[in-house]
Amino acid sequence: MNEKQNKVLKTALWMAYNSSVPMGMGFWQATTTKQKTEEPLWDICKEMVETRKGSAILYTDYVFGRMVKTTFSVTADGELTINGGEEPKLDYQSWCADFPSNKDFVNAVYERIN
């Protein structure tokens, strides 16, 4: 994973996590987790990143109790794709209350980076 991929994935994960809500039994895990900044969250989750054909891919489900359920893929050039292009669903990706489309989310990630 190159530095550009690292930065985009780290930012995307943090923004999705931060915009997601605890669901079901995840409520208990979320209330006891101390992921207050992107660094500790990334330090734990970066070990789950896979590399395929030059793309860095992170699969998420519940992240510390929050319903993220998203696959992030970043090319070597830093192009972010979410869920293979499938648009988010509020009952599955709780972060889409803040970012109703992949385009909204991706634009917000790049805006935060720059």
Lowest mean pLDDT among 15-19, 28-32, 74-78: 28-32
> pTM of the entire structure?
0.90
> How far apart are alpha carbons 29 and 88 in whole angstroms?
24
Does residue 111 carry a pLDDT above 70?
yes
> How far apart are alpha carbons 107 and 42 in whole angstroms?
20
